[in-house]
Amino acid sequence: MHSVMLLTKTWAVERKDIVRNLGKVLVKSGALKFGAFTLASGKLSSYYIDLRIVPSLPSVFSQIVRAYTSLIKRNVRENRFDIVAGIPTAGLTYATAVAYELSKPLIYIRKEKKEYGAGKEVEGLLPPGAKVVIIDDVITTGGSLIAAINSVRRSGGTAEKAVVLIDRLEEGRKNLADVEVDLVSLTSIAEITDFLYDMNIIEDAQRNAIYAQAGISKS
């Protein structure tokens, strides 16, 4: 019992450190931007997160990959899934490294179905009934993940878990639950915002913009 509690505490501390570092990197690198943006979901946003820069920072990237693998190990028993799937482009970058670390096969979902050859929606080997964990970087409404989930299911696989770094708290979790998929996230935009604000990295106006976008009441 003591060893289990120690492991949990260690992960809790590690997770917070990763989230703090991720927040700092987002601001320092310009990956967290404020303004007026149109997201992939079509929604307008007062801020934008671009995690595509993380693989260009090896020390941060290795931390993030460890975070993904720890999340999966603690939330999805390894004998209860068969394959890791990535969504191009950001999700695929992380999924490739995570699949390697977990010694699991990798597949990836095409943005558009091939109009030639075998006409595949999913690239790689997907045996019928294989259990797939889908990886992406950020979730807003969950539209991209749901499209990937549907592709996996149409191709003969099963998908019940999706793993992301940041939940923007904009109905994504609920929308995944509606298609019977559990969302596992490292952190939320609210937690990152609070860390950044407490460290005096962002100001009131920037915190308020993020809070308003996520529908969070200022305490």
Given a contact cutoff of 8 angstroms between Cβ atoms, the answer to whether 214 and 168 are in contact is yes
Extract the tokens encoding 118: 């075998």
pLDDT digits (tens, 9 = 90+) for 126-179: 999 999 999 999 999 999 999 999 999 999 999 999 999 999 999 999 999 999
- State residue 1's pLDDT score: 43
Q: Is residue 149 a part of any domain in this protein?
A: yes
Distance CA(42)–CA(47), nearest Å, equals 14
Please give the tally of structural domains in the chain: 1
Distance CA(219)–CA(123), nearest Å, equals 46
Q: What is the mean pLDDT of the chain?
A: 87
What is the extent of the structural domain holding 122? 2-214
Q: Is residue 193 a part of any domain in this protein?
A: yes
Q: Is residue 105 a part of any domain in this protein?
A: yes
Distance CA(182)–CA(173), nearest Å, equals 8
What would the mean pLDDT of 19-36 be, rounded to a whole number? 85
Give the long-range contacts of residues 56-61, CB within 8 A, separation 24 or more.
57/25, 57/29, 60/21, 60/22, 60/25, 61/97
Q: Is residue 94 a part of any domain in this protein?
A: yes
Q: Is residue 219 a part of any domain in this protein?
A: no
What is the CATH classification number for the domain harbouring 163? 3.40.50.2020
Distance CA(63)–CA(17), nearest Å, equals 10
DSSP 121: S
Predicted TM-score (pTM) of this structure: 0.88
Distance CA(130)–CA(124), nearest Å, equals 12
Band (88; pLDDT cuts 50, 70, 90): confident
- Is residue 161 helix, strand or coil? strand
What would the mean pLDDT of 104-122 be, rounded to a whole number? 77
- Is residue 159 helix, strand or coil? strand
